[in-house]
Amino acid sequence: MRPDLLNPLFAEAASLKGVGPGLARPLERLALTRVRDIAYHLPDRFVLRRAVANLDEASVGEQIVVALTVREHRASSGRGPFRAMAEDVLGNVVALTYFGRSSYTARKQLPPGETRWIAGRLDQFGQTLQIVHPDHVSEESAGALGQLTEPVYPLAEGLTQGRVQALAHQAIGLLPDLPEWIEPGLLQKMGWPAWKAALTEAHRGENPLARDRLAYDELLANSLALMLVRASNRERAGTPLQGDGHLRAKLHLPFELTGAQKRAIAEIEGDVAQGAPMLRLLQGDVGSGKTAVALHAMLIAVEAGGQAALLAPTEILARQHHATLTRMAAGTGVEIALLTGRDKGRARESILMGLMDGSIHICVGTHAIFQETVSYRNLALVVIDEQHRFGVGQRLMLTQKARRTPHCLAMTATPIPRTLTLAQYGEMDVSRLDEMPPGRQAIDTRVVAVERMAEVIDGIGRHIAKGGQAYWVCPMVREQESEDLAAAEARFALLRERFGDDVVLVHGQLRPEAKDAAMERFAGGAAKLLVATTVIEVGVDVPNATLMVIEQAERFGLAQLHQLRGRVGRGSERSTCLLLRGDALSETGRERLALMRETQDGFRLAEEDLRLRGGGELLGTRQSGDTPFRVADFEQIARLLPLAHDDARLLMERDGGLASPRGEAARVLLYLFERDWGVQLLRGG
């Protein structure tokens, strides 16, 4: 159970003053539903202002605090700005400029003849100095001088900086005194403040070491929890699996296994033969042959008299896997079933009976394969595809479907930098497929300016006319007034005018039936052009689709661009990927697109993506699986994670684990960061 002293932090956000139904919704959009969430909602940056006695001491473009006396109001006709003309103590004139409705408030805040303390950015319009929409107007000097260092928080529609700052102040006031979980020598060496002081200072920008301390806490909690999972797994009773090879000998794969595949299969075979259940991650680039390795692993389980289950994150991917495995295992006599949440009636009952009596050897599906109503005769191996879509807590739930803990093989097609592998999968052994099957051609990747879109559409027409198929990927579903990104629905409408029924649309907001119908038309060749969002990032395998267009490509991260590109180049024909770029291209965006042209090594791209993002410029849509952290950024992970990993190991191996005094404090840390699934594994935890 969660320690009582953490209860104030896990109170609902609605318990804070001023949080009613109207504010709850924008807070939910930022996942700020509890006091703890708000306390850890740290500023993105700080506005640093300088107090000046007069405007001669300030520079244009500088953030300042200065005392000004209002002389007159000047209202413009129509929709023009409202200006309060003011002077400093030397008589320097500055216009306090407001647009829109804020002018009504400004008239009251800035009465002529009165002196006010103004905080804001000093700019120049023509020959006139001006401060547009002052950040703060105070009657007393203390009010403005208190804003010399002002936090700037991430916001959602319906929230203001002032409101978030006030809520953060309330949350900080509720922080309890917690025991210290960091090793004393390390704490002193790093010069970090105590936990409560660190959170307070991180919101005020008073101590640059405060955020490092908080990031380290999160990394330590994660490392410790993963070690607990690993240790617990080694203590569990698994079922040793010794396959005799008779089913694998019947496989007639259309390709020769690579050295990396053979090595991974041997590692898996060695793991499952042990008494402790396997917990292994299979990392493989797009097209590196993970499915073939998984099939070998599942056949080992079946040869040993057990059953295997493959869990996919989406129904599209589950159906794709079922079709691929059925094709690859043809002639082996192995019964492979597909079970999703949409299966009803007699068909579902037949599958459930087959799993119970063991006549179904391999079950492929979504979360439905682990519902309470699903029972297995002898579940010996679980394969989890696209591992980054599932948390450790979900992985642990799978163990409840067998009399003994089943072996677990997790797979990901998202190449993960070595730094993040430890952070996300520290409880697992890792196999890497770092070779590509022979015969796979490189994908011709080109960067094209958006102005040439008409030429690109003409090219798609020629491609379709020759019997080919193509993808068109957009970053959004619908246009929004505040966005200039292409929307899938708008692009679909435009392309449908040109190509008619040859075009289908797939995105995450479609009903599953409509999504599957569109995918089936495209996979079967009835549709020639698939317009989609990143829902096709994984699990779409159409060898005849050899052309991909990614619109606003600079908005995506490298790893995601690489995943999307991997949807083409899956057959013997040469494939092309066109990266449509917008006009405003940052240096980081330019470098990212250049790297996509230069290499198709997903592991190298993952390392480069980490380097580019580590500087703090998080361009592009956020990729699922970026990091499992809320506080620690990429740079802190690279710098502090090895330290946290070593400290967690010292705690477990030298300092008595969670039963020691520091271990008791570490238990609090695990609950604080909701890594308590690590605690639950302990006897009596």
644-670 pLDDT, tens digit each? 999 998 998 887 888 888 999 999 999
pLDDT bracket for residue 423 (50, 70, 90)? low
Confidence of residue 615 (pLDDT cuts 50, 70, 90): very low
Judgement on whether residues 249 and 322 belong to the same structural domain of the protein? yes
User: What does the block give as tokens for 38?
Assistant: 């708000």
90's tokens: 């030397």
Q: Contact, 322 vs 336, CB < 8 A?
A: yes
Residue 517 has which token pair? 């119908």
- What's the pLDDT score for residue 85? 96
Tell me whether residue 659 is in a domain.
no
Closest by CA to 119, choosing from 171, 73, 183, 65, is 65
pLDDT at 427: 64
HSE (side-chain half, CA atoms, 13 Å) at 236: 24
157-180 mean pLDDT: 93
> If you average pLDDT over residues 502-512, what whole number do you get?
86
Query: In one letter, which amino acid is 45?
Result: R
* Segments of 291-378 assigned E as strands: 307-311, 336-339, 362-365
Could you tell me whether strands 93-98 and 82-87 are parallel, antiparallel, or unpaired per DSSP bridges? Answer: antiparallel
Instruction: Copy the structure tokens of residue 461.
Output: 């027409």
Q: Residue 640 pLDDT more than 50?
A: yes
| Per-residue confidence (pLDDT) for residue 620, from 0 to 100 | 27
Same domain as 265, residue 407: yes
Q: Is residue 38 part of a domain?
A: no
> Which residues are bridge partners to 97 per DSSP?
83, 132
| 424 is a domain residue | yes
pLDDT at 317 over 90: no
- pLDDT surpasses 70 at 174: yes
pLDDT tens digits for range 426-477: 667 889 888 877 767 789 999 999 999 999 999 999 999 999 999 999 887 5
Rounded Cα distance, 523 and 322, in Å: 14
CB 19 within 8 A of CB 54: no
Domain end among 152, 180, 205: 152
Q: Does a structural domain hold residue 629?
A: no
How many whole angstroms separate alpha carbon 557 and alpha carbon 574?
25
Residues 310 and 401 in one domain: yes
Please, is 77 exposed, middle or buried when counting C-beta atoms within 10 Å of its C-beta (0-12, 13-18, 19+)? exposed
- Is residue 40 in a domain? no
Full residue range of the structural domain in which residue 318 is found:
241-433
- The count of domains in the chain is 3
User: Are residues 465 and 345 both part of a single domain?
Assistant: no
Token readout for 505 is 């649309």
CB atoms closer than 10 angstroms to residue 32: 26
Adjacent-strand bridge partners of 408: 279, 382
**Per-residue CA distances from 188 to 182, 185, 200, 213 (Å):** 10, 5, 19, 12
Torsions phi, psi for 261 (to 5 deg): -65, -45
pLDDT at residue number 395: 56
pLDDT number for residue 393:
57
On whether the CB atoms of residues 351 and 360 are closer than 8 A, the answer is yes
Residue 228 pLDDT: 85
Average pLDDT, the chain: 86
With 50 as the cut, is the pLDDT of residue 76 above it?
yes
| Domain CATH for 55 | 2.40.50.140
Q: Higher confidence at residue 367 or residue 577? A: 577
pTM score, whole prediction: 0.68
Residues 392, 296 within the same domain: yes
347 and 449, same domain (yes or no): no
For residues 251-264, give the mean pLDDT. 90
Cα angle 173, 178, 179; round to 5: 160
**Alpha-carbon distance 570 to 588, whole Å?**
29
Domain co-membership, 286 together with 415: yes
**φ, ψ dihedrals at 128, nearest 5°:** -105, 135
- The region of weakest confidence among 296-310, 398-412, 645-659 is 398-412
Which pLDDT band holds residue 567 (cuts at 50, 70, 90)?
confident
Asked if residue 508 has pLDDT above 80, the reply is no
User: CA-CA distance, 230 to 227, in Å (whole number)?
Assistant: 5
Q: For tokens 């500088």, name the residue.
A: 62
Whether 550 and 411 map to the same domain: the answer is: no
**Higher per-residue pLDDT: 270 or 429:** 270
Structure-token pair, residue 11: 């109170």
What's the mean pLDDT in 182-209? 94
| Residue listed under structure tokens 């002196």 | 115
From CA 260, how far away is CA 264, in angstroms rounded? 6
Mean pLDDT of 311-325: 87
Instruction: Average the pLDDT over 289-304 and give the result.
Output: 96
Share of the chain above pLDDT 90, in %: 52
Residue 347 has pLDDT above 60, yes or no: yes
Please indicate, yes or no, whether residues 425 and 455 belong to a single structural domain of this protein: no
Cα separation of 553 and 588, whole Å? Answer: 12
Q: What's the pLDDT score for residue 434?
A: 83
Range scoring the smallest mean pLDDT among 309-313, 391-395, 454-458 = 391-395
- The rounded distance, in Å, linking the Cα atoms of 450 and 318 is 35
In this predicted structure, what is the pLDDT of residue 36? 97
**Residue 494 in domain:** yes
Domain end point (choices 433, 460, 479): 433
Q: Is residue 297 part of a domain?
A: yes
Is the same domain home to 143 and 277? no
More confident residue, 94 or 584: 94
Higher pLDDT, 685 or 445: 445
Q: Which of 433, 461, 492 is the last residue of a domain?
A: 433
One domain, residues 253 and 398: yes
Residue with tokens 């007639």: 252
For residues 592-614, give the mean pLDDT.
Answer: 81
For the domain that residue 298 is a member of, what is the CATH number?
3.40.50.300
- Average pLDDT score over residue span 622-644: 74
pLDDT in tens, 21-37: 889 889 998 999 999 99
Q: What share of the chain is helix, strand, coil (3-state, %, to 5)?
A: 45, 20, 40
Helices then strands (H, E): number in the chain? 23, 23
Q: Which residues contact 310 (CB under 8 A, 6 or more apart)?
A: 294, 298, 318, 321, 325, 362, 363, 364, 365, 382, 383, 384, 385
Q: Which range is least confidently modeled, 283-297, 494-508, 612-626? A: 612-626
Q: Which amino acid is at 206?
A: E
Mean pLDDT computed over 534-543: 69
Q: Strand 45-48 to strand 379-384: parallel, antiparallel, or no bridges (unpaired)?
A: unpaired
What does the pLDDT average to over 107-111?
A: 93
Kindly give, in sequence order, each residue whose CB lies less than 8 Å from that of residue 362, ignoring residues fewer than 6 positions away.
298, 302, 307, 308, 309, 310, 325, 329, 334, 335, 336, 337
Tell me the C-alpha to C-alpha distance, in Å, between residue 52 and each of 64, 117, 236.
7, 11, 67
Q: How many angstroms separate the CA atoms of 366 and 369, rounded?
A: 6
pLDDT for the residue numbered 673: 94
Domain-embedded: residue 388: yes
Say which DSSP state 11 is in: S
253 in the same domain as 135: no
With pLDDT > 70 as the criterion, what percentage of the chain qualifies?
Answer: 90
